[in-house]
Amino acid sequence: MDWLGNCRTTAMGIMPHHNVDEAIKLAMSCDIPFWPQLPKVSFYEDMYVQASEHFPGITLDLVEQRINFSTELFYEQLPDYLEHLEDPDYFDVTDEYSMVYNHFLEQDLSGFSAIRGQMIGPISFGMKITDENKKPIIYNAEVKGFIYEFLAKKMNAQYQRLKQKNKNAFMWTDEPGLEIVFGSFTGYASETAHEDYREFINLMDAPIGLHLCGNPDWSFLLTQDISILSMDSFTCGRIFTRYYDQIRSFLEQGRYIAWGIVPTLTEELGDLQVKDMVARLEEMWDYLKGKGVSKEALLRQSLLAPSRCCLVNQDKSVTVDRSFDILKQVSETIREKYKLFD
């Protein structure tokens, strides 16, 4: 996948913008654009809501902006789901559930080296959505297996749509809840989650990346069959690089790392400049080089991104816009220094 690395830029899907056109324009300023998820525009633009479309047992409370699940309704609606198993349109994101997705697909995306879609991951989805007893549905053994199959079908349907616009389309799954798995209180053993995730990834038609902003057991992810690992290297990079043996093996298998290096939180970004981000990256890469990780492989098999999604800044989208601008300059600086040309 030579079209993927060389410190090209991309970003996480969730953005704070209220204006669809502005968000799409910013997403398309990346080397690898993506369709933005804009929960400030509509409840339907929330990543959990988009994943819930046609999931048996789920209803939306638009007034309270809540996703509800009923076990009884799940079994009532299951036959209808089974009738649509082979219909990819049934699993794609419709106009009702995202005006942004379809607006993105109306753009000319053929000239980019690649394009990307995304969907909330099964662990986060299953932990977030609760049943009538306030119990996360991932703890229902029958429903849990269904979550993995259902979201794989949704991601495959989206991938096929994106691939019509650019042959180098790929997907990544957003897993903010994955960090919870490593807490002893969850009752969902990390070993079980690892195997469940492996089976989930095997259902995919697309090259798959996995993104999370937290600080999990990195060996869990570096030993998964994913093509790309996307992480907040600004916050967690120094911890992440301590897994140098697994990182070396990950890269030797031809996989990629997306380094979330530019903060999107106003107080974190502050007065940081391009040179600060470049120095932070090179510090991590030089440390890995000293531990036997090929610097050439790091450069060739890296993407650069903002550090994380951010919806809480008081300045709305101003800081995020600035983060994207700095990101572009960081990429240009590194690609020029190391002669990383397309």
Question: What does the pLDDT look like over 98-127, one tens digit per residue?
Answer: 999 999 999 999 999 999 999 999 999 999
**330: Cα separation from own chain's centroid:** 21
DSSP string, 74-92: HHHHHHHHHHTTT-HHHHS
pLDDT digit string, tens, across residues 228-237: 999 999 999 9
Domains and CATH numbers, the chain: 8-41+98-337 (3.20.20.210)
pLDDT for residue 297: 96
Residue 178, burial from CB neighbour count under 10 angstroms (0-12, 13-18, 19+):
buried
Residues 296 and 290: their CA atoms lie apart, in Å, by 13
* Cβ-contact 139, 86 below 8 angstroms: no
pLDDT of residue 208: 92
The angle formed by the CA atoms of residues 166, 115 and 36, to the nearest 5 degrees, is 130
In this prediction the pTM is 0.94
**Residue carrying structure tokens 């991932």:** 138
Residue 46 CA, chain-centre distance (Å), reads 14
pLDDT in tens, 35-47: 999 999 999 999 9
- Average pLDDT along the chain: 93
Q: Does 227 have pLDDT greater than 80? A: yes
Coil, strand, or helix at residue 14? strand
Q: Does residue 50 carry a pLDDT above 90?
A: yes
12 touches 262 (CB < 8 A): no
pLDDT in the model for residue 114: 96
* pLDDT tens column, 6-31: 999 999 889 999 999 999 999 999 99
